[in-house]
Amino acid sequence: MPSDASAKLQQGRAEPRQRRLKVVHVVQNLNYGGMERVLADIVCGLDPERFEPHVLALEYLGRFAEGLDRVAALHLAPPMTRWSLLRPASLTRWFKALAPEVVHTHSGVWFKASLAAHLARVPLVIHTEHGRHFPDPWSARAMDRLASRRTDWVVAVSESVAAHLGRFVVADKSRVLVIRNGIATAEFANAGDRRRLRGELGVEDSDLILGSIGRLEPVKGYDVMLEAFAQVHRRWSGPGRLVLAVAGDGSERTALQAQAARLGIGDSVRLLGWRDDVHDLHAAFDLFTLASRSEGTSISLLEAMSAGLCPVVTDVGGNREVLGSELGELLSPSEDPAALAAAWERVLAEPARRKALAQVAQTRARDQYDVSQMVASYERLYQGAGRLR
């Protein structure tokens, strides 16, 4: 029989720690954008006792890489030849060397990264489709169909994206899942400084700011937004001035500046560039708006709703799902400046109603789109690799 001392020693020994699952996220870059933000939030939220996260950028690291190295290993892809789309040899060797249990690809890298993961015999390959242009080119669909055949799970960030994938891209619809984007809703519920940004912009407290945050790219429809704002601006009779403030940057900035000048609204439009003071932006805005031509599940919309802003957005992608039936009146058809302008005017005309709708939006974001729900869903997917070992 073991001695008392031996028994105590055996009781004191900890169970052997299970090896963490290596999960590699593959993305073009970690620069500005909702997709990049979601990726960073997933990585930061993973249980460090069960998962070892890595992020592989095929192009370059960007803004969301800052501080991410505290929770994940960050990598730049090895140099690839012009033929890498057909045979990504260097990327395949990289996966073999790291030997991850999971490769998780994101929009823009699906074909090449899934092929390399397949050739490297990675046990589990997951792809998240963050949004698609409608209609998407047949060539993109063809490549994605091939990629889907070597992907175990295809995740859509909204029901509308899932329906598109199931109809045009993924032959086996049972492998398409919906995991809605999430954000740290409590963080955005903290009010910023309303006066600071308004003072910087020369906007009085009695003025009304229609605010937007997004990339200045054609898909975001800021040209439509300017047309709508010009219509409201001509009719506006107060109280106070009406100002449109857009935080973000992109290839359309110069064209949008010229359009605002041509429409005679240049003095009332503020293109702010990329900003890090999102809490102050939300506090300064009186209404949040998007004129997107296509969306997955908009992160900037979720953040604005979490901050207690009333949203008026186009009825594209996942926007209808985010707003739900309670806020359906705040949806506007895309490519329709007159309809968007009318939707703004209805909300601006009734401050009490606008406040009530903002409270509904905040509650909906908190209850349905918190980051913890999103991360837990991905963790359950990743655990499937543990059963394959």
Give the position of tokens 């909300």: 347
Q: Cα dihedral angle (369, 370, 376, 378), rounded to 10 degrees?
A: 50
**Backbone φ, ψ for residue 353 (5° rounding):** -65, -40
Dist CA 332 CA 340 (whole Å): 6
Indicate if the pLDDT at residue 29 is higher than 50. yes
Domains 19-182+371-388 and 185-368 share a fold: yes
Query: Per-residue DSSP letters for 57-95?
Result: EEEE--GGGTTGGGTSEEEEPPP--TTTTT--HHHHHHH
Q: Is the peptide bond before 135 cis (omega within 30 degrees of 0)?
A: yes
pLDDT value, residue 196:
92
Residue 138 CB neighbours (<10 A): 9
CA 164 to chain centre: 18
Q: At 32, is the pLDDT very low, low, confident or very high (cuts 50, 70, 90)?
A: confident
pLDDT value, residue 175:
94
The letter for the amino acid at 63 is R
Write down the domain spans for the chain.
19-182+371-388, 185-368
**Backbone φ, ψ for residue 34 (5° rounding):** -65, -40
Q: At 131, is the pLDDT very low, low, confident or very high (cuts 50, 70, 90)?
A: confident
pLDDT value, residue 386:
63
**E-state strands within the chain:** 21-29, 51-60, 73-76, 102-106, 124-129, 153-156, 176-178, 208-213, 242-247, 269-273, 287-290, 311-314, 331-332
pLDDT tens profile 314-354: 999 899 999 999 999 999 999 999 999 999 999 999 999 99
Indicate if the pLDDT at residue 16 is higher than 60. no
Indicate if the pLDDT at residue 259 is higher than 80. yes
pLDDT value, residue 63:
83
Tell me which of 206 and 63 has the higher pLDDT. 206
Measured distance between the N- and C-terminal CA atoms of the chain, rounded to whole angstroms: 37
pLDDT value, residue 3:
44
Q: At 105, is the pLDDT very low, low, confident or very high (cuts 50, 70, 90)?
A: very high
Please give the CATH topology (third level) of the domain spanning 19-182+371-388: Rossmann fold (3.40.50)
**% of the chain beyond a pLDDT of 90:** 80
Q: Cα dihedral angle (363, 369, 375, 381), rounded to 10 degrees?
A: 130
Dist CA 295 CA 314 (whole Å): 9
Indicate if the pLDDT at residue 387 is higher than 80. no
pLDDT tens profile 66-81: 899 999 999 999 988 8
Q: At 5, is the pLDDT very low, low, confident or very high (cuts 50, 70, 90)?
A: very low
Task: List, in order, residues 6 or more apart from 307 with CB less than 8 Å away.
Answer: 188, 189, 191, 279, 282, 283, 362
Dist CA 26 CA 122 (whole Å): 13
Q: pTM to 2 decimals? A: 0.84
pLDDT tens profile 157-213: 999 999 999 999 999 999 999 999 999 999 999 888 999 999 999 999 999 999 999
Indicate if the pLDDT at residue 47 is higher than 80. yes
Indicate if the pLDDT at residue 1 is higher than 50. no
pLDDT averaged over every residue in the chain: 91
pLDDT value, residue 84:
86
| Integer angstrom CA distances of residue 362 from 4, 159, 189 | 60, 21, 8
Task: List, in order, residues 6 or more apart from 348 with CB less than 8 Å away.
Answer: 208, 242, 286, 287, 354
Phi-psi region of 67 (alpha: psi -120 to 50; beta: other; left: phi over 0): left
pLDDT value, residue 9:
38
Dist CA 143 CA 140 (whole Å): 5
* Best CATH choice for the domain 185-368 from the list 3.40.50.970, 3.40.630.30, 2.40.10.10, 3.40.50.2000: 3.40.50.2000
Q: At 384, is the pLDDT very low, low, confident or very high (cuts 50, 70, 90)?
A: confident
Dist CA 204 CA 241 (whole Å): 8
pLDDT tens profile 274-307: 998 999 999 999 999 999 999 989 999 999 999 9
Q: At 46, is the pLDDT very low, low, confident or very high (cuts 50, 70, 90)?
A: very high
β-sheet bridge partners, residue 29: 60
